[in-house]
Each structure stands twice: as structure tokens, then as C-alpha cells.
Structure 1
Amino acid sequence: MSRAFHKEEFVVPIHHIGVLATSLSTTAALLAPGTPAAAAPAAPAPSSRLALAVFPAGQATGPLRLAILECDPDGGTHAAAGSACADLHKVDGDLTALADDDAICTREYRPVTAIARGTWQGDPVAYTETFPNHCVLLSATGEVFDF
């Protein structure tokens, strides 16, 4: 005796399809011999990217210098990215901790302002400082603002 199948017998509620698919894929993974467990993707390394600017303080006009510094891997538009990143690694990205005690600068007063905005190993960076002249800036910040 043959039985006729009706279309209505094969209707499965939509929420059951998701449960069924998940169960089948889990079962297949458990039963497959020699299948290594899928490793969780590694978290991306925290980014270190700074937008840097140096300009004459208190003047509406004057040369504005800009650079992008990327670290790990070192790059961006900064002329000495490798050295600047090395300086930042020494102080764990704390621009206020940078210093070159061996510098000898004149007492010429031509103030410059240095600004850094971005992230260091995922943490936000917001730095603004005005220095008496460009030499003092470089003495206080190493290679970071030397671009």
C-alpha cells in the first residue's frame, strides 16, 4: 500500500530550522575523526597611531608642520618613525616622560606648540605643550616631534 505525502507534512516552523542546523553542525564536528578544534581568532594588537603637529605659538601665521606616526609596525609620514617609536616605547607612550638631558639650547624665545592626538597601544592620547623654542621642544620630546 502506498502512502501519498502531502506538502503540509514537511512544513517545519522557522525557529526549529535554526535549532536543527546548529544541532547538526555541532554533532558533525564532534563525530568527525581527527578534526582539530577551531582556534579562536587572535585579538588584534592595540593600535598606536598619533597625529602630530608643531606650530609657532601665539601667531596666526607661520609654518605648520604635520606628521602621522604609526608604531608596531613603524611608519606613517613621520621622517624618523623608527626612532620616534623607540622613544615612545621607552616611556610606554607617555609623552610627558620623554626627555633628552644632554641637549644644549640657546635662550632664544620663539615659542612653539606641539600637539599629539591619537592612540598609544589602544589608549587615547591628547598632548599639548608649548616650549620656549624648537631646540627645547626636541630636547623635551626626543625624536617624536622631529619631523
Structure 2
Amino acid sequence: MRDQLCRIGAIATVSALIVTGTAAAGVAQARPAQPAGLYAPSALVLSVGKGGAAAATVQRAVTLNCAPRPGGSHPAPAAACAELHAVEGEFAQLTAPMPQGSCTRQWDPVTLDASGVWEGRRVSWSATFGNACEMHASLAEGPVFAF
């Protein structure tokens, strides 16, 4: 009789653990994802490619996270995030008209691409330049695409 009571007690304990969601073997149950903070996410993939926009071959690419704090594989994430914050995530504002006569007219297209999320909104931007010199002149050596 005593053995039966012990077995019934053990079964009741295991049943209670299963019903309440606690694993009998001591393995913690997965909890639903909780927001990391009060900041909307800012996570981007930036790339530099050779060729026109439709057929560019990626030469270099990095990740850039700006919220809740700068990070990613970008070599200068804090400076790149500061530049993006200054233009409110509008990548088109990072480029300026190229000064006349500063680059050759050689056609060797370079395409910049940015995609991901900026402050919670989807971002997809690209720009194609005639050559690397035109790209550097248009970007004014800003840190976002300096990798």
C-alpha cells in the first residue's frame, strides 16, 4: 500500500510539473520573446558591388546595428550610426553631386546597397556610380560606406 501511495504521489508531482509548464527533467521552457528595450530596431546590411544595379557582384559587405547601441561587422559602427542619425536614415542624403572634372569618364560601375530596418521601418536603397572615383567624390568620405 505504501508503494502505491508513493507512486501516486510521484505521478501527481510529475503531472503538476507538466501542467504548469515546468520540465520534469529540469530543462527550462522557452519564454516568449520580449522586446530588448524601448528603441525601434536599426539593423542594416551594407554592400559595395562591381557593376550596374541589376547585375552588381558584391565585393564587400558589412552589417550595421544602430539601436539600441552601435555594433555589427562595420569597422566604425558609432561613426556610421551618427552619420545616419544626422540624415534621419535617408541614404540619398549621404550623396552629393560630384564636382566637375574631379574624376575620369571611365565606365566601371560601382553599386552601393543598403537594406534592412532603420528605426523600425524597412529600408531598401541603392545607387550606381560610373566608377570608384565618382563614388568616393559623391560620398565625401563619410563613414557609412567606408569599409
- Taking structure 1 as the reference length, what is the TM-score of the superposition? 0.60
Residue 120 of structure 1: aligned partner: 118
1:53 counterpart residue number: 47
Q: Is the 8 A contact 1:47 1:122 kept in 2?
A: yes
Aligned sequence identity (%): 36
Deviation at 1:131, TM superposition (A): 0.9
Name the counterpart of 1:69. Answer: 64
Q: Is this contact kept in 2: 1:112–1:133, CA < 8 A?
A: yes
Q: C-alpha deviations, 1:47-70, integer Å up to 9, x for none?
A: 111111111114979661010011
The aligned runs of 1:33-112 (5 Å cut-off) are 44-58=38-52, 64-72=59-67, 73-99=69-95, 105-107=102-104, 108-112=106-110
RMSD after superposition: 3.0
The letter of the residue matching 1:106 is C
Normalising by structure 2, report the TM-score. 0.60
Say yes or no: does 1:135 pair with 2:133: yes
Q: Which runs of 5+ in 2 are unaligned?
A: 1-34
Contact 2:51 2:57 in 1 (8 A): no
How many angstroms apart in 1 are the aligned matches of 2:119 and 2:64? 13
> Where do 4+ consecutive residues of structure 1 move more than 4 Å?
58-63, 100-105
Give, in whole Å, the separation in 1 of the partners of 2:118 and 2:111.
20
Aligned length: 107
Following TM superposition, by how much is the alpha carbon of 1:93 offset from its aligned partner in structure 2, in angstroms? Answer: 0.2
Unmatched 5+ stretches in structure 1: 1-40
Instruction: Please say which structure displays the higher CA radius of gyration.
Output: 1
| Equivalent in the alignment of 1:8 | none
